[in-house]
Amino acid sequence: MRLTCWYTQQCVDQLNDLRVRLFTRGVEIDPQEVALINAKFLRLNPELALVLDIDGLSLSANGMKMQPDWNAEIGRLKRATLKTEMLARATQANDQPRLIDATAGLGHDSLLMAKFGAKVTLIERHPILFTLLEASYERAQIDPFLASVVANITLVFADAEDYLEQQYAKQQKIDVVYLDPMFPQRDQNQQRPKKQAQVKKQMQILHLLLPEDGEMDLGDALLLQAQKIAKRVIVKRPRHAVFLNNDTPQHQWLGDACRFDGYFCMNSTE
C-alpha cells in the first residue's frame, strides 16, 4: 500500500518516525511538504492521504481530515456513570474484566470501558488506522486526565480473528470480548439496506480507507471465535440490525438508536 503524506516543515522529525513505523506495517508513504495545511488546501487535494501538521497525524479526503481524537472524549468520560452508559453495564467494565475490543474503530468505546477499570486489549488490523490509534494513544499518555485511562489499554496490531484463535490455542482466560462491526447494513427482516443519514465526517473518511468488501466487517466469524474463549461476548448493533451469525443473544440492552447483544458462554476456557 502506498499513500501520500502531506506534512509541514515543523513535523520533519515526526515524519521520519512515521515513515519507519508504516514501512514495518507494509505501507510506503510519499512525503509532500507544504507550507500550510488548511481547509482550502484540503478541498484542492481531495484524494485520500495522510496529514502530519500541528494537530498531529490525521487522515484526509474530500476536503476533510480526521483522527481518533481521544482528547475530545474527555467530557464524556468525566460525565460517564454506570447509569448513563449501557456499554459499561453490558461489559461489566467496573468489575475490571480482562477485555478484548476486537473491532477497534476509533477507540472511543475502548476509552470508555478503560475509564471504568476494564483492562482492554484493543485490536486493529489496518496499518493506517492502527497508526492513527497509536498516535492518539501517545498523545493521551501526556494528558493529566487521560493518562490514567489509557494505562488500562494495550494496542495490538493484528487481525482480530487470528488473534482470538491464538488466544484459544493458548487457552487464555478472557472475561469479555466486545464486537462493534463496522458495516451492519441490513435490518432485522433482511430487507434492502435502509437509507442512512449522512455519516459523520470521521466515518465518511474511514469508509474510504476501509471499503465494505463482502463479509469484511460483518463480524459473524468474530462472534464464533469470541464465543470459544470469553465468558461474555457483547455485540453493539443498530437497534434493528440482524443478529451476528443469526445467533439470538441471551440478553439485550436496548437504546434508542443501538442495542448491545449479550452472549454468555459458560463453556469458555477456564
**What 3-state class would DSSP assign to 111?**
helix
Long-range pairs, 16-24, Cβ under 8 A, ≥24: 18/50, 18/52, 18/57, 18/131, 21/131, 21/134, 22/127, 22/128, 22/131
For 224, the grid coordinates are 464464533
> Cα–Cα distance between 22 and 43 in angstroms, integer?
26
Secondary structure letter of residue 246 according to DSSP: G
13 marked among binding-site residues: no
**What 3-state class would DSSP assign to 21?**
helix
Secondary structure letter of residue 45 according to DSSP: -
For 228, the grid coordinates are 470459544
For 103, the grid coordinates are 473491532
> Cα–Cα distance between 71 and 78 in angstroms, integer?
12
Question: Which residue has 489499554 as its cell numbers?
Answer: 153
**What 3-state class would DSSP assign to 201?**
helix
124 marked among binding-site residues: yes
Q: Say what angle helices 160-169 and 220-229 make with each other, to 10 degrees.
A: 20
> Cα–Cα distance between 243 and 220 in angstroms, integer?
9
Binding site for S-adenosyl-L-methionine, by residue number, is 124-125, 180
Q: Which residues are annotated as a binding site?
A: 124-125, 180
